[in-house]
Chain A
Amino acid sequence: MPMAADDIIALIRAGIPDAEVEITDLAGDGDHYAAKVVSETFRGIPRVRQHQKVYEALGGRMGGVLHALQLTTTTP
């Protein structure tokens, strides 16, 4: 089931309060997104952990309702 971009942004912000989130609807179908997440909390931790923080914020939806989220994480 597709998920609205605003819901994805809200979830990530709830889990990572300082996150700046930019979402692109890749296919225009509300199901394939790219997300760029910028947060100070990513500083000094490996990329795998950065992505895991985002997945944690998404609370298990990743891989389920959210099949296709292309993720990029960076620090400010």
Chain B
Amino acid sequence: MTDDVQARIAETVNANEVLLFMKGSPLFPQCGFSSRAVAILDHLGVEYGSVDVLQDQGIRQGIKAFSDWPTIPQLYVKGEFVGGSDIMMEMYESGELAELMKTAGVTSKAA
């Protein structure tokens, strides 16, 4: 893995208030866990960017080192790694994720 990949990941993470690394796209998730992550973010009604790791093997491997996290999806809010789909689900159900988005001042999707 090159530093270049890590730099590109850091740049993308910092350029998006909410960013989801996933398999597939929000319209066509390619994995059940990614699909669940997308559903959660859509329910919260926040603007988010996404990166399809299936399109880039460098990112797919690099993101695991970046976060010290072995699986995808991965959610970042304001540059901070939040967790994978299980953590997202738990935080969504307890209301913590909505609270985190609010505290972080994340932009809501226009109705």
**Interface assignment of B102: CB less than 8 Å from any CB of chain A:** no
Within the complex, which residue of A48, A64, A70 is in contact with B83, where a contact is CB–CB below 8 Å?
A48
Nearest CB of B to A43, in Å: 16
Q: Which of A47, A48, A63, A72 contacts B71 (CB 8 A)?
A: A63
The bracket for how many chain B residues form the interface is: 10 to 19
Q: How far is the CB of A70 from chain B (nearest CB, A)?
A: 6
Q: Mark A12-52, 1 if CB is under 8 A from B, else 0.
A: 00000000000000000000000000000000000110011
Nearest-neighbour CB distance to chain A for B28, whole angstroms, equals: 20
**CB proximity to B under 8 Å, residues A43-74:** 47-48, 51-52, 55, 60, 62-64, 68, 70-72
A47 in contact with B70 given A70-B86, A71-B86, A72-B86 (CB within 8 Å): no
Give A residues with C-beta under 8 Å from B: 47-48, 51-52, 55, 60, 62-64, 68, 70-72
